[in-house]
Structure 1
Amino acid sequence: MTPPTLAKIALLLLASPLALAQNADRKLQSAALNGKQLEITTSDGKYVIKPYSSRIMETTFIPRGERHDAASHAVVLAPDQEPATLRDEGGALQYGTAGITVTVTKSPFRIAYAYKGAPLVAEKLGHHKKDGAEVIDFELDKDEALYGAGARAVGFNRRGKRFTLYNKAHYGYEERSELLNFTLPVAMSSKMYALHFDNAAIGHLDFDSGKNNTLAYETISGRKTYQVIAGDSWEDVVGGYTSLTGRQPLPPRWAFGNFASRFGYHTEREARDVVNKFIAEKMPLDAIVFDLYWFGKEVKGTMGNLAFDKDNFPDPKKMIADFNAQGVKTVLITEPFVLTTSGKWQEAVDKRALATDAAGKPATYDFFFGNTGLVDVYSQTGKDWFWDIYKNLRKDYGVAGWWGDLGEPEVHPSSVRHATGTADQVHNTYGHDWARLIHEGYRKDFPNERPFILMRAGYSGSQRFGLIPWSGDVNRSWGGLQSQPEIAVQMGMQGIGYMHSDLGGFAGEMLDDELYTRWLQYGVFQPVFRPHAQEAVASEPVFREEATKALARESIRLRYSLLPYNYTLGFDNNQQGLPLMRPVLYEEPKNEKVRGHVSSYLWGREFLVAPITEPGARRKEVYLPATSAWFDFHTGRRYEGGITTVVPVTLDHIPVFVRAGAFIPMVKPVQSTSQYNTRSLDLHYYHDASVTAGGGKLYDDDGATPEAFEKGQYELVRFASALQGKELSITINSEVGKQYQRPERGVALIVHNVAAKPARVQVEGRAVKFGWDAKTRLLSVPVAATKRAVSTVVITLQ
């Protein structure tokens, strides 16, 4: 970066409103480069500033007399060898990379950040103490919107709120919840930057609740480290954040299917009957989830048994094997609480598996389920004891997935001690490190298998352990449904891309078939399709009345038809950190009107989804981003982008739109993903005169091997369109990993929005027969299976 550019940045920063901030008590004493990092000594401590990449900068403050804790629960990226320069401009130091520049004003001492010359954010008072808390605050522009702080339902633009950072369940919440199971110390701005506060202890994140243009992180103790992540797009910002904290492994393919789940299945006979009913009703199914009755006959007094109740489950090995033969995986609930009345209490005590009190004895306390201890996932003895239970259930019984419930932990007194700190110091990372325990156990003992880890609580970076989150015990109500898109989209922005809800709602005995239908229709376009609820009203669609059952079947079959598209979204999340559910803000980051918009969202890049969240709706107002024209997924009607339109609503589907120029790979639905393959593909292309070049892809592998892409055990099929005059060319090009055999694949190409019968269609230069429907404006072209990796279709339009 040239000196004139640095000087210009300094002037911009000093001239901006952010320059008004100062801390008169902090004096700069010296500054120097130590390798790539900048070390600054001040009158009250030391700053260490270093780049992780051109878009990620970390700042740490070490107060005088304190020792720095170098360990991060969140960060896994190694600092980059990105060229970094330091210049002394007289009144300020300029330190930075080709992307982020840090301006350190000498007097009054102040740190500010810019990205490619544009001011981002600046410390206000920097690190200081206030009302017993350790605080770092920042000066905000008066009009920037804020996102982050984990899973909440408070409105999409979260500016003006002060959030507690203490993972906590909220039973029966509806359209609003200030505090839920995932509280993440992350703030994101409409100026396209993120601030991640790299400290796990409990505290608060204040998004300008005092209306004085201040963002503040407050904590009880711990590291005084934060990272600034910037980019040219939201994809850059979230991609940078997930490169810093880790990317989500691609889940097993069956995780994209339908789950049977309730609270809960009491007996083996009951569970078998449910699976058989799904098959008899021709309703696709990939997994059955067992709540706590698998280890106890009663809700209270049995938690911690963690072994099949032999009275009600006389032959669990055969049951699980039979389910597997039917294409249905078995998922078991586990909790970190071991009751003093459970069969494993003494064993857990003897193995020193439990968190302790101040005297070093197993800490016990009462909560809803009984008198309990808590597994210490921070001690080696606790980890070993807990993992042995998982390992034996996997190895001896064939259990395929795990549900970690109550992992906030739900009740976690401050007096409890763990191997690495107090309850308050580790509370927010407990679910994170519980998921780590299972993830690392699989890598050691089942290295050729992708784990499924459903967890109710986590922390920054939990996605790298394969954690699949859900939004907790939402009420079975319209208010409960209304809060779900905000929670899921926000969590995707914060790196945890598989946030989903108990479809139909969990809490309460409300029987509302319209609500159930709308929730499942929304569920088609969220990361995990899992109806779950208290058993007083059936959560499984096979037990609903016939009309509702028929609508649920269509939703589930659509979910399975979209498997090629959805699985590819999982691949993009794994490789790039891209959320599966994305805000409209991603499309138009400079459009102030969409900064608080979440009544519709993007499912991947190509779908725009507008859930129906009110009873009796017959019309829905939908904003269609200006970046494209859009097609109604169900009717084919074309809409211009950049408009708000009112669309009619019927009970059989929710409004869904597809981007002009999109490729949507689909298959015929199967009973379970064990029958899935892409040898016969329906490839939908949404032709429009406004699109001269389009593209898309399909990712495929065996659905089970960890890191299949990195091992060369994959196929990546790229689709491309080119429109020149009246000639539309579509190319299908297969890239195959070195350890993979691509299938011979027949493709039924369906081109939408073809106004007139084409003059000619050629496949590989030879004219072929085709179908064209004047009413639907659909062109159908068969592309026969071939060993060739490339196929080209040329359509001569009228």
Structure 2
Amino acid sequence: MIPNLPLLRLIALASTLCLSVLAVAGESRSYLAHQQSKDSLTIQLNDGEVSLTPVGPSALSLHYRSEGIKQLPSFAIDDKPESSLKAQLRDGEDKLIYQTGSLTAIIHKSPFRIEYLRGSEQILSEERGFFATETMRGFRFALSPEEKLLGGGERVMGMDRRGQRLPLYNRAHYGYTTESNQMYFSLPAVLSSNKYILLFDNSATGTLDLGANEEDILQFEAVAGRTAYIVVAGETYPQLLENYVSTTGKQPLPPRWALGNFASRFGYHSEAEVRATVDKFAEEDFPLDALVLDLYWFGPDIKGHMGNLAWDKEAFPEPEKMMADLKERGINTILVTEPFVLSTSERWQEAVANNALAKNLTGEPKRFDFYFGNTGLIDVFSEDGGDWFWNIYDGLLEQGVAGWWGDLGEPEVHPSDTVHAIGMADEIHNAFGHAWAQLLHERQTAKYPERRPFIMMRAGFAGSQRYGMIPWTGDVAREWGGLQPQVELALSMGLLGFGYTHSDLGGFAGGEKFDRELYIRWLQYGVFQPVYRPHAQEHIASEPVFHDRRTRDILREYVKLRYRLLPYNYTLAFENSQTGMPLMRPLFFENESDLSLLDYKDAYLWGQDFLVAPVVEEDVDEVAVKLPGGTWFDYWTDEQYSGDQAQVEVDLKTIPVLVRAGAIIPTIDDVHNSRDYSSKNLTLDYYAHPSAAKSERYVYEDDGATAQAFEKGKYEKLQFSAENKQQGLAFAFKREGDGYTGMPESRKVNLNIHNWQQVPVQLDISGESLPIFDSEKDFAQASRGAWYNKRKQQLLVKFDWHKEPLNLMLKNQ
């Protein structure tokens, strides 16, 4: 109860009897009184109350409450808000003005309505605002005429979802291709071209109507759940996203091996098959960091064993030794787990005895049938369910498991009459995967605080990224139509915090015979997506090492390129952990004035400096790629492109990969896996161009394994800059951080300057001259110096870089 408002509280409680009438008949909601506390503003209304709470930089949570409407806790808001969050209140005769950061809420008293400004610009306004009837609750907002709306989670319907009606119920869509309005991971949130994010903090079954029934109205509807929403504002799209993840939580930096190559299929049936597969990768000279075991690790058949969650010792007689042997080779073991315990499984009675399962309406374990058998569902919202489930995970971690794959966690089957510790199935369905990931992340980090969890799941809720969730796009069809929507899916999820969304490379479902071109194109694209994990039904091998020589030879170079780019990719992962910037970025982040780019999904930015356009149609020898402005170089040929579009020629060995003018791309030498990562030999490719007079880049490094290495100071940043000056081209190199175990004391740097037109007359490094060689042979034999490759128009420079800052100057004629 709010102190000093007893009479107003009585008025508010009495008025709730008219709640449904207000909603249906359209009577006006009106202001009665308000009170500001240190943390929030609470307003008494004639039909309840609403609180406004700063929850992040330029972010407000609005929570409407009326008597008789059950509320659930927030799943979306990070429980570690910034301590400095404050808001200012001004009270006027007809309105309240409540401001936090650049976001201002204008609260009109009668009729009651809230509008939102970024600075002085209106970006969003409630139309009716909160409504509730006996069977529905939700919110209504006004849309501006030209406004575009992106987000809503995984959907295949184009980037701009305005005009669509989106179901909010996580549901499997097996074998999808180019259309899907309901998939594994829905999100009750949109990003607007007006530079706000609107998130409904409600996990219940519902619908997000983005101007489908009424073209100028955004309406959220739910059958139950928390009656709250969050508004986030930003001056730019990247700032908006950073403000959003500051509210809902930032993705922890994963272990470096998560960026390596995975062996995965449905599935490996035995220890012998696992060992043979790993040997094949080594024999074919393919780097490998992880092996994923699907459901055969706990049973010999697809059906009847789910819930065993213990090794099938006939197929895997020595699992601990197997995993230890893999680890010795630098390969991490990932196990699939599901939240279902079949009544035929070996753990059914144990789960019942430990009160681990969700209940039916009579208080008994809820049982139902689905594809895998008669089952119960672990209640991840209950303390007993969490304790029982975690004890199994903990035992497997002690055996040597390195990561988790949580499957079927929508949950795939979830009867409405299932009773969980905090509510019915339809109230919390969309938060089930979220709570599951939270359970794993919090329990594992509590017991093993130095380890970074790896948690891959296909369903969750807004904010699940703060628990390290790595989503994938589900059981996509193994055909060209399955490849085509993958960029759209990844970009849409990345806009709302899920920067590691990726696909089963090569496609998962179906496919009568091996399509070499499709497979190659999908795995080429995979080099520039967050997780490199080919995965499929086993009648066609998902692993490149089991295909023909031409396929192997092409893809070997791409997998090795993935590893050479580890300095770049790991830095992207670090940036994501700090700011929420996704690894795959839409082109409109680059050119915010071109609204047409909000719809563009055929190409994307991989970090700051790569522009990638996957080849998604067969028999293609040229691809049209939109450019966001500036000059770009073909990564394979150094050909230059500028303007609004590039026509890029391709063959089976190449896809369009462009590099920004001024970029400094770091790479390392080839390695067997990420365990061997070292930047002791570091190559920097600088793309010189008059339009990029000055460039600044960095590489982030740590030991690849220690949790919160950056926060602990156990890292190093390698910082580079390049500047075109009147007297020539100047480079500067410096280091930051306390360092980490295994850090090179010095580095041999190979600097390749692309698009260079002449041999410098002088080359100085920190005041000392470097030799400039006339022949490639002499240059190759020297430990330091430079050589100009006239045919490629590249100047190659090599030198040693120790701990101290270093300056390099190329003087022209």
Indicate whether 1:796 and 2:811 are aligned: yes
Kindly indicate whether the alpha-carbon contact (under 8 Å) linking 1:52 and 1:77 is maintained by their aligned counterparts in 2.
no
- Between stretches 553-562 and 46-55, larger displacement belongs to 46-55
**Structure-2 change in CA distance of 1:175 and 1:65 (3 Å):** closer
Kindly indicate whether the alpha-carbon contact (under 8 Å) linking 1:736 and 1:742 is maintained by their aligned counterparts in 2.
no
Tell me, in whole angstroms, the C-alpha distance in 2 between the residues paired with 1:431 and 1:189.
26
Residue 784 of structure 1 is matched in structure 2 by: 800
SS in 1 for 2:517: helix
Tell me, in whole angstroms, the C-alpha distance in 2 between the residues paired with 1:795 and 1:738.
30
Residue 424 of structure 2 is matched in structure 1 by: 422
- Between stretches 568-577 and 40-49, larger displacement belongs to 40-49
Tell me, in whole angstroms, the C-alpha distance in 1 between the residues paired with 2:806 and 2:489.
42
1:98 CA drift (Å): 4.5
1:95 to 98, 102, 111: 98
Residue 465 of structure 1 is matched in structure 2 by: 467
Tell me, in whole angstroms, the C-alpha distance in 2 between the residues paired with 1:127 and 1:232.
27
1:172 CA drift (Å): 0.3
Residue 11 of structure 1 is matched in structure 2 by: none
Q: What is the aligned-residue RMSD (CA, Å)?
A: 1.7
SS in 1 for 2:599: coil
SS in 1 for 2:225: coil
Indicate whether 1:228 and 2:235 are aligned: no
Whichever residue aligns with residue 307 of structure 2, its letter is G
SS in 2 for 1:184: strand
Kindly indicate whether the alpha-carbon contact (under 8 Å) linking 2:57 and 2:243 is maintained by their aligned counterparts in 1.
no
1:65 CA drift (Å): 5.3
Residue 517 of structure 1 is matched in structure 2 by: 520
Kindly indicate whether the alpha-carbon contact (under 8 Å) linking 2:703 and 2:740 is maintained by their aligned counterparts in 1.
no
SS in 1 for 2:186: coil
1:339 to 325, 339, 342: 342
1:78 CA drift (Å): 2.5
**Structure-2 change in CA distance of 1:23 and 1:243 (3 Å):** farther
- Between stretches 548-557 and 442-451, larger displacement belongs to 442-451
Residue 686 of structure 2 is matched in structure 1 by: 685
Whichever residue aligns with residue 484 of structure 2, its letter is Q
SS in 2 for 1:595: helix
Kindly indicate whether the alpha-carbon contact (under 8 Å) linking 2:308 and 2:346 is maintained by their aligned counterparts in 1.
yes
Residue 756 of structure 1 is matched in structure 2 by: 758
Tell me, in whole angstroms, the C-alpha distance in 2 between the residues paired with 1:344 and 1:38.
50
Whichever residue aligns with residue 678 of structure 1, its letter is S
1:69 CA drift (Å): 4.9
1:36 CA drift (Å): 5.2
1:42 CA drift (Å): 1.8
- Between stretches 95-104 and 223-232, larger displacement belongs to 95-104
Residue 647 of structure 2 is matched in structure 1 by: 646
**Structure-2 change in CA distance of 1:771 and 1:508 (3 Å):** same
Identity of paired residues, percent? 46
1:265 to 262, 265, 268: 268
SS in 2 for 1:163: strand
1:764 CA drift (Å): 1.6
**TM-score, structure 1 length as denominator?**
0.94
1:358 to 358, 361, 375: 361
Whichever residue aligns with residue 205 of structure 1, its letter is L
1:38 CA drift (Å): 2.5
Residue 452 of structure 2 is matched in structure 1 by: 450
SS in 1 for 2:807: strand
Residue 244 of structure 2 is matched in structure 1 by: 241
1:399 CA drift (Å): 1.1
Residue 490 of structure 2 is matched in structure 1 by: 488
**Structure-2 change in CA distance of 1:50 and 1:198 (3 Å):** same
**TM-score, structure 2 length as denominator?**
0.93
1:72 CA drift (Å): 3.9
List per-residue Cα deviations over 1:408-460 (Å, max 9, x = no partner): 11101011111111111121111111111111121122222111111111111
Indicate whether 1:725 and 2:726 are aligned: yes
How is 1:580-599 mapped onto 2 (pairs within 5 angstroms)? 580-599=583-602
1:792 CA drift (Å): 1.4
Kindly indicate whether the alpha-carbon contact (under 8 Å) linking 1:187 and 1:196 is maintained by their aligned counterparts in 2.
yes
List per-residue Cα deviations over 1:109-163 (Å, max 9, x = no partner): 2210000111100000111136832120110111111111111111011111111
2:556 to 531, 544, 553: 553
1:795 CA drift (Å): 1.2
Residue 665 of structure 1 is matched in structure 2 by: 666
Tell me, in whole angstroms, the C-alpha distance in 2 between the residues paired with 1:478 and 1:783.
46
Indicate whether 1:110 and 2:125 are aligned: no
- Between stretches 85-94 and 108-117, larger displacement belongs to 85-94
SS in 1 for 2:352: helix
Kindly indicate whether the alpha-carbon contact (under 8 Å) linking 2:59 and 2:103 is maintained by their aligned counterparts in 1.
yes
Tell me, in whole angstroms, the C-alpha distance in 2 between the residues paired with 1:457 and 1:175.
20
Kindly indicate whether the alpha-carbon contact (under 8 Å) linking 2:75 and 2:431 is maintained by their aligned counterparts in 1.
no
Structure 1: where are the runs of 5+ without partners?
1-21
2:575 to 561, 572, 592: 572
1:255 to 255, 258, 263: 258
List per-residue Cα deviations over 1:222-259 (Å, max 9, x = no partner): 22211111111111111111111111111111110000
Whichever residue aligns with residue 419 of structure 1, its letter is A
Residue 193 of structure 1 is matched in structure 2 by: 196
Tell me, in whole angstroms, the C-alpha distance in 1 between the residues paired with 2:98 and 2:474.
44
- Between stretches 446-455 and 274-283, larger displacement belongs to 446-455
SS in 2 for 1:324: helix
Whichever residue aligns with residue 784 of structure 1, its letter is D
Kindly indicate whether the alpha-carbon contact (under 8 Å) linking 1:685 and 1:750 is maintained by their aligned counterparts in 2.
yes
- Between stretches 317-326 and 113-122, larger displacement belongs to 317-326
**Structure-2 change in CA distance of 1:131 and 1:418 (3 Å):** closer
SS in 2 for 1:770: strand
SS in 1 for 2:596: helix
Tell me, in whole angstroms, the C-alpha distance in 1 between the residues paired with 2:466 and 2:617.
36
**Structure-2 change in CA distance of 1:271 and 1:72 (3 Å):** closer
Whichever residue aligns with residue 215 of structure 2, its letter is N
Whichever residue aligns with residue 632 of structure 1, its letter is D
SS in 2 for 1:185: strand
- Between stretches 482-491 and 222-231, larger displacement belongs to 222-231
SS in 1 for 2:280: helix
Kindly indicate whether the alpha-carbon contact (under 8 Å) linking 1:284 and 1:671 is maintained by their aligned counterparts in 2.
yes
1:738 CA drift (Å): 6.4
1:737 CA drift (Å): 2.2
- Between stretches 494-503 and 55-64, larger displacement belongs to 55-64
1:204 CA drift (Å): 1.0
1:775 to 787, 791, 795: 791
Tell me, in whole angstroms, the C-alpha distance in 2 between the residues paired with 1:460 and 1:401.
22
1:740 CA drift (Å): 5.8
1:736 CA drift (Å): 2.0
**Structure-2 change in CA distance of 1:543 and 1:509 (3 Å):** same
1:60 CA drift (Å): 1.6
Tell me, in whole angstroms, the C-alpha distance in 2 between the residues paired with 1:407 and 1:35.
39
SS in 2 for 1:514: helix
SS in 2 for 1:713: coil
SS in 1 for 2:153: coil
Residue 295 of structure 1 is matched in structure 2 by: 298
Residue 736 of structure 1 is matched in structure 2 by: 737
Residue 6 of structure 1 is matched in structure 2 by: none
Structure 2: where are the runs of 5+ without partners?
1-24, 771-784
**Structure-2 change in CA distance of 1:131 and 1:83 (3 Å):** closer
1:35 CA drift (Å): 3.3
- Between stretches 23-32 and 425-434, larger displacement belongs to 23-32
**Structure-2 change in CA distance of 1:606 and 1:23 (3 Å):** farther
Q: How many residues align?
A: 773
Kindly indicate whether the alpha-carbon contact (under 8 Å) linking 2:48 and 2:67 is maintained by their aligned counterparts in 1.
yes
Tell me, in whole angstroms, the C-alpha distance in 1 between the residues paired with 2:118 and 2:749.
45
1:37 CA drift (Å): 2.8
Kindly indicate whether the alpha-carbon contact (under 8 Å) linking 2:290 and 2:333 is maintained by their aligned counterparts in 1.
yes
- Between stretches 369-378 and 210-219, larger displacement belongs to 210-219
Residue 119 of structure 1 is matched in structure 2 by: 122
- Between stretches 741-750 and 138-147, larger displacement belongs to 741-750
